[in-house]
Amino acid sequence: MISTKYATLSLVHNVAEAAQNKANSGARLTTGLRVANARDNASSFAIAQGLRSKMRGQTAVLQGINSTKCAMKTALAGANAIGEILAQMRAKAIEASSPGITNRQKDSLTDQLRDLTLQIDQIATSARFNGINLLVESRSDLDSNTFDVSAQLSTSRPSLAAAGDVDGDDDIDLVYSNSTNEIALLSNDGSGTFTASDLQAATGSTAYTRPVLADFDGDGDNDLVMGIYTSAASGSAAEYFENDGSGAFTSTGVIADAPARSGASGQFNEDLVSGDINNNGRPDLVSIDQNGNPVTLLSNGDGSFTGVTSTLSPTLSDSDGNGILTTGFSIGDVDGDGNIDIMVQDQDGDQMILGLGDGSGEFDFSNGKTVALDSQAQTAHLSDLDNDGNLDLLVARYNYLATFTGDGNGNFTEVEELATDAVHRTNGLSAVADLNDDGIKDYISSSRDDATVSVFQGDGDGSFTLAENISVSSRGFGVSSGDFDGDGATDFAVGTNTGGTVDIFLNANPDSVNTAQTVTVLTSTDGESQTITYQSMQAHNFDLDWETIKEDPSGQLATIEAAIIRHQRQVTNLGAELRDLEANHDLQSQIADATASKVGNMVDVDIAREAAAFTAAQVREQLATQSLSIANDQPRLLLNLFR
C-alpha cells in the first residue's frame, strides 16, 4: 500500500514538472526571450538591460537624423524651385534691357518680375518639415539692445524729413523742414556720421510739409520739393528746389498747380508724397487740397508739373462744413491693376476712403470702399505686412495701432488693435521698415507728448508687438529710416522739433543681416553632432526687392546674376551637408543593428529548439497524466478481485 502511494505521488510530481516545463517553453515562445528576467540569468539580463538602454539612445539619434534629413530634402526641393525662378527672372531682366522694348512691354515684364520675386518668398516659407525650415532665417527679435544713439545734431526745430543721396556719394543724407521757414541738410559721410547745415529759407512763411527727394528733372540727381504755406488767405503749397548734383539746391519758385491754402478756415494737409502715378517712369507728386481732394502733380520731366484734381465722392465735409478734415493719406497699388491708388484719412468720419487710380493721375472714389476706424486716424501706411504680395493697411491712432490685411482687390480685414505707450499723430511722424532683416516690416513711431520713440516688431501676419520704447532728447517729430552706416542693417533718425536736435539711432545688431544660420543634430549616443550651416533663400537675402525691380527692371540684371551665383553656392553646400548626414545615419543604423544582434544572442530564444522542447514537455505531460490515471485505477481493480 505504501509502495502504491509512493508511485502515485511520483506520478503527480512528473505531471506537475512536465506542465511547468511546457509553460516555461510556451512563455519563451510567446515573448521570444530566453532571458526575460534576472531569475532566468542574472548576468545576461544585466548586460542586456545596459545594451537596451544604449539602443533607446540610438533610436532617438536616428529619429533626429531622419527628421533633419527630411527637412534638408524638403529644403533642397524648394531651393531647386527657387533656382528655376531665378533663371526665369534673369531671362526677363535681359528682355527688359532690350533697346526696342515698349513701355507696355516693360510694365508687363515688371509685373512678372515682381510676381516671381514674391514666389521666391512663398516657396522658401513653405519648405518646412516637422517645424524645420532651412530656407528661412531664424528671427532676430528687436529688444532694448538693438539701437544705440550715435549722435544728437543741433538744427533749428527739425520737423519732417526726407532721406536720400543728395550729393552723389551713394549714401543716405537727410533733408529736414521746420516750422520756422528753414530747410536743413544733414550730410552723411557713409559711416552714419552726419554734418548739419542750413540750406536756405523757403518762399512761404512756414516750410511745414514733408520734403520730397526725387529726380524730377531727369538729370540723375535728387531734387527737392517742399510743401509750404503763407499766412495769407491763399497761397501756394509747394516749392521746387533744383539740385546741382553736389547737394546745392536752388529754388525755381513755387509750383503753380500745387494745392493752395484757401481761406483761414480751410484745412491744410501736411503730406506730400512722390510716386509714378501715370506709369511713365517719372516721379510725380500727390497732395491734398483744403477740402480733402487729392491733387496729382504729374512730372513733365524738366522740373515742371501739371496738376490733376480728383473729387471725393460722396462729398465729405468737416463739422463746420469747410471740407474734409484729413490728417494725411497713403498711396500704393491696392487692387493689383498696376495703377497707384490712394487711401485718404477722413478724421471727422473715423474712416479711410479708397480712391482707385486709373493711370492718368486721377483717383476715382465712386467704388464706395472705406475702412471703418474706432477713432480718428493720426497716421496711415500702405505696405505688405504679411508678405502675401498684397498691400495691407497700418493705422496709428491715439494710443492704438490698428492693422488691416488687404486681399488685393481693395478690401481690408482688421487683424488687431494694439494698445501702445506712444501717442501717434501724422504720417510724417512714423516709418515702416524691416529693422531686424527677417523679411517682415516693422514700425517706428515718435510720440506726440513725451520724449520717446516706440519700436514695434512685425509678427509676419499683419500684427505687431511692442519691442521697446527709446528715449530721445525731447518730444519726437519726423522719423526717417535707412542704412545710414552701410552695414546692411536699417537705422533711423528722429527730429525733435521742440529740442532742436536730430537724434541718430544706429542698428546695433548688424550681425543678423545675411548671416549664416545653423542647425545642430546629434549623430551618436556619445554626444557627437553635425552642425549644418545654411543661408536664408528669401528674396531679400538675394538683395531682390520687388518694389526696386518695379522701378528699374533692366537695372536689376546684375543683382539677379549675383543672386544666381549665391544660390548655386548655397545649394551645393546644402547638398554636401545632406550627404554627410546620410553617411552618419548609415553608420548609426549599422551600430544599432549590431547592438540589437548582441542583445538577441544573449537573451533571445532559439525558436526551433524551444518549439521542440515545448512539444517534448507537452508529450511528457500527457504520458505522466495517463500514468497517473492508470495508477489511480489500480486499487479499484484489486478490490474487484475480492467481490
Measured between alpha carbons, how far is 346 from 364 in angstroms, rounded to an integer?
A: 16
For 427, residues 6+ apart whose C-beta sits below 8 A from its C-beta are: 210, 270, 271, 327, 328, 329, 330, 379, 380, 381
Note the pTM of the prediction, 2 decimals.
0.68
The values of phi and psi at residue 309, to 5°, are -105, 130
What's the sign of the alpha-carbon dihedral 372, 448, 320, 345? negative
Give residue 343's pLDDT. Answer: 92
Tens digits of residue pLDDT in 450-483: 788 888 999 888 999 888 888 888 777 788 899 8
For 611, residues 6+ apart whose C-beta sits below 8 A from its C-beta are: 25, 29
Instruction: Give the residue ranges of DSSP H helices in 259-309.
Output: none
358-to-103, 132, 263, 279 alpha-carbon distances in Å: 16, 44, 31, 10
Q: What is the DSSP string of 7-46?
A: HHHHHHHHHHHHHHHHHHHHHHHHH-BS--STTT-HHHHH
Please, are residues 324 and 291 in contact by the beta-carbon 8 Å criterion?
yes
Measured between alpha carbons, how far is 381 from 304 in angstroms, rounded to an integer?
A: 28
Give residue 283's pLDDT. Answer: 93
What's the sign of the alpha-carbon dihedral 379, 380, 384, 386? positive
Tens digits of residue pLDDT in 349-398: 788 899 999 999 999 988 889 998 887 777 889 999 987 888 999 988 77
For the chain, give percent helix, strand, coil, nearest 5.
35, 30, 40
Give residue 268's pLDDT. Answer: 44
What's the sign of the alpha-carbon dihedral 48, 52, 53, 57? positive
22-to-15, 111, 253, 611 alpha-carbon distances in Å: 11, 81, 112, 10
Give residue 202's pLDDT. Answer: 59
Please, are residues 332 and 382 in contact by the beta-carbon 8 Å criterion?
yes
Please, are residues 220 and 250 in contact by the beta-carbon 8 Å criterion?
no
Q: Which residue has the cell 546695433?
A: 508
Measured between alpha carbons, how far is 539 from 496 in angstroms, rounded to an integer?
A: 35
User: Is 300 exposed, middle or buried (CB count within 10 Å of its CB: 0-12, 13-18, 19+)?
Assistant: middle
Measured between alpha carbons, how far is 569 from 565 in angstroms, rounded to an integer?
A: 6
**241, containing H or E segment:** strand 238-243
In sequence order, the β-bridge partners of residue 201 are 182
Mean pLDDT in order along the chain per 10 residues (643 residues): 55 60 56 56 62 69 83 90 94 84 80 87 84 75 77 77 90 83 85 82 60 92 81 63 89 81 45 88 86 87 92 57 65 91 83 92 90 83 87 86 92 87 60 83 84 87 88 81 86 83 81 59 77 80 75 79 90 88 82 66 54 59 63 60 56
Question: Residues of 327-344 as b/e, b for ≥16 C-beta within 10 angstroms?
Answer: bbbbbbbbbbbebbbbbb
For 484, residues 6+ apart whose C-beta sits below 8 A from its C-beta are: 171, 172, 188, 192, 194, 491, 493, 504, 506
Give residue 260's pLDDT. Answer: 66
CA atoms within 13 A on the CB side of 579: 6
Please, are residues 436 and 509 in contact by the beta-carbon 8 Å criterion?
yes
DSSP strands (E only) in 483-585 = 491-496, 501-507, 517-522, 529-534
In sequence order, the β-bridge partners of residue 132 are 129
> 3-state class of 187 per DSSP?
strand
Tell me: cis bond preceding 314? Omega within 30 of 0 counts: yes
What letter would DSSP give residue 235?
E
Grid coordinates belonging to 480: 526717417
Q: How far is CA 315 from the centre of its chain?
A: 40
User: Is 637 exposed, middle or buried (CB count within 10 Å of its CB: 0-12, 13-18, 19+)?
Assistant: exposed
Grid coordinates belonging to 626: 495517463
